């Protein structure tokens, strides 16, 4: 059984702890071998918001649908008849939600997907256009049906159950002409795939690689064709169950190490954990043979122990320094391990978690385009995801760029005053 390391037993400067909205570096001193950087005060510029990232074009490929959301007091039992407490019909689909989030934050998303020429398809397109998502590359079939999902939101448990009907006919590579493919990728900063439409997605991803466009993959679950996409990825964001299911590693931290070892092109992998925040493993650019080696499971437990000292309700993160991480029976790599918290939402404000993961991904896409460091990106994405949980549906609560809650992340300048705590 793994033992828990205390801060004094970790290698020098192994852990770094800061609060939301700060990004600092620490260095050990001769008399204090282990330090924890804590945010004491943040001074933000009072200037107006800066313009969105210059390179803000995002190409996404994946699901776009209609969600029929029914909130109920409690989930029904078989053969039961109940009434809704709230009802909403709006756009959905992982890629559609994430790109809507990116658009509201100020990026210029282009979505590649397929709908039918029916009422639902027209509503999907109209909603995207209203939010600033480019629909020029969405294929409209004259026959069949657009995708849709019934979503039952349980007010008591704050959970949701999704019943999805796929679109028909499905999208195939021939639906997207070579000319449209090249046009969609023109001047793109990043390409994003939610794992759906695998054959079409692979064609787009291969072209993106040829054009040196970074690729982000949403690995929600094991899907047909996902492995081929992951081989081309630069960034991966996955659900809690995916890493162990995909790698068959014995623990979540060791699974993240396995992912980076098996996919050498990936810069970082993030696993989202709902109300428990997220874990991120970032590959070090320059591996040092002299770096001390730590068991990744032990390191995560130590990060969790240090995180317990923080009582703030706003998102924070704690991270290791660049360290050689060992996963027993799997291998080692040099990187940094981050543990991010989720915002603690009061029960009276928590309405619906539908699309929270998509909102997180949309914020990470923005952060990559804005060149945010992980220390800023993780709290920012947690803020965006939390905002989305305060309204019914995957898009109702998605914040706009002008939302005061996001101002501190989007200001042109900030000054962080830090101290090294004993």
DSSP per position, 73-133: SSPPPTT----EEEEEEEEE-HHHHHHHHHHHTT-EEEEE-EEESSHHHHHHHHHHHHHT-
Reduced to 3 states (helix: H, G, I; strand: E, B; else coil), residue 97 is helix
Q: Which of 369, 370, 368, 299 is nearest to 337 (CA)?
A: 299
pTM: 0.86
**Residues ≥6 apart with Cβ < 8 Å to 395:** 90, 91, 92, 97, 100, 127, 131, 355, 388
* Cβ atoms 335, 323 nearer than 8 A: yes
pLDDT in tens, 117-133: 999 999 999 999 999 99
Residue 412 pLDDT > 80? no
Residue 29 pLDDT > 70? no
User: Angle 159-162-165 (CA atoms, 0-180°, nearest 5)?
Assistant: 175
**pLDDT level of residue 289 (50, 70, 90 thresholds):** low
Q: In this predicted structure, what is the pLDDT of residue 126?
A: 97
Higher pLDDT, 157 or 22: 157
Phi/psi region, residue 141 (left: phi>0; alpha: psi -120 to 50; beta: rest), is: beta
* Cβ atoms 67, 148 nearer than 8 A: yes
Cis peptide before 169 (omega within 30 of 0): yes
pLDDT in tens, 167-210: 999 999 999 999 999 999 999 999 999 999 999 999 999 999 99
Q: Tell me 8's DSSP state.
A: G
Q: In this predicted structure, what is the pLDDT of residue 310?
A: 66
Instruction: Give mean pLDDT, residues 271-291.
Output: 86
Instruction: Give mean pLDDT, residues 73-86.
Output: 95
Partnered with residue 37 across adjacent β-strands are 420
Instruction: Give mean pLDDT, residues 216-239.
Output: 96
Q: Which of 197, 196, 216 is nearest to 208 (CA)?
A: 216
**pLDDT level of residue 48 (50, 70, 90 thresholds):** confident
Q: Tell me 114's DSSP state.
A: E
Question: In sequence order, which ranges of 241-322 are alpha helices (DSSP H)?
Answer: 242-247, 252-262, 296-307
Mean pLDDT of all residues in the chain? 87
Q: Which two tokens stand for residue 156?
A: 């008591």
Residue 140 pLDDT > 90? yes
pLDDT in tens, 249-264: 999 999 999 999 999 9
Q: In this predicted structure, what is the pLDDT of residue 39?
A: 34
Q: In this predicted structure, what is the pLDDT of residue 285?
A: 82
Reduced to 3 states (helix: H, G, I; strand: E, B; else coil), residue 269 is strand
Q: In this predicted structure, what is the pLDDT of residue 348?
A: 93
Q: Cβ atoms within 10 A of the Cβ of 183, count? A: 12
């Amino acid at each position: 059984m793994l033992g828990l390391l205390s801060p004094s037993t970790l290698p020098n400067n192994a852990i770094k702890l800061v609060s939301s909205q700060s990004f600092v570096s620490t260095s050990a001193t001769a008399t204090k071998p282990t330090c924890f950087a804590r945010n004491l005060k943040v001074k933000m510029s009072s200037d107006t918001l800066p313009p969105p990232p210059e390179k803000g074009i995002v190409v996404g490929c994946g699901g776009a649908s209609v969600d029929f959301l029914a909130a109920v007091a409690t989930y029904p039992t078989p053969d039961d008849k109940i009434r809704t407490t709230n009802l909403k019909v709006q756009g959905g689909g992982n890629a559609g939600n994430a790109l809507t989030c990116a658009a509201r934050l100020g990026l210029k998303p282009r979505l590649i997907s397929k709908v039918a020429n029916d009422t639902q398809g027209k509503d999907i397109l109209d909603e995207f256009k209203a939010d600033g998502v480019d629909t020029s590359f969405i294929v409209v079939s004259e026959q069949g049906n657009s995708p849709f999902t019934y979503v039952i939101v349980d007010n008591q448990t704050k959970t949701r159950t999704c019943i999805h009907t796929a679109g028909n006919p499905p999208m195939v590579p021939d639906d997207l002409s070579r000319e449209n493919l090249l046009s969609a990728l023109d001047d793109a900063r990043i390409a994003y795939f939610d794992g759906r439409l695998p054959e079409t997605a692979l064609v787009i991803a291969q072209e993106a690689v040829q054009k040196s466009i970074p690729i982000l993959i949403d690995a929600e679950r094991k899907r047909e064709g996902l492995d081929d996409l992951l081989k081309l990825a630069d960034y991966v964001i996955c659900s809690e169950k995916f890493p162990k299911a995909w790698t068959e590693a014995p623990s979540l931290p060791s699974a993240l190490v396995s992912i980076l070892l098996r996919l050498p092109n990936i810069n970082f992998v993030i696993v989202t954990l709902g109300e428990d925040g997220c874990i991120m493993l970032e590959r070090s650019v320059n591996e040092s043979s002299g770096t001390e080696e730590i068991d990744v499971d032990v390191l995560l437990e130590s990060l969790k122990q240090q995180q317990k000292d923080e009582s703030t309700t706003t998102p924070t993160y704690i991270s290791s320094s660049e360290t050689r991480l060992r996963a027993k029976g799997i291998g080692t790599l040099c990187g940094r391990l981050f543990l991010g918290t989720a915002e603690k939402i009061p029960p009276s404000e928590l309405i619906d978690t539908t699309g929270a993961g998509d909102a997180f991904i949309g914020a990470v896409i923005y952060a990559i385009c804005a060149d945010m460091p992980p220390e800023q990106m993780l709290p920012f994405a947690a803020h965006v995801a939390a905002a989305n949980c305060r309204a019914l549906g995957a898009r109702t609560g998605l914040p706009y760029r002008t939302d005061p809650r996001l101002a501190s992340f989007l200001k042109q300048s900030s000054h962080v005053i830090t101290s090294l705590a004993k």
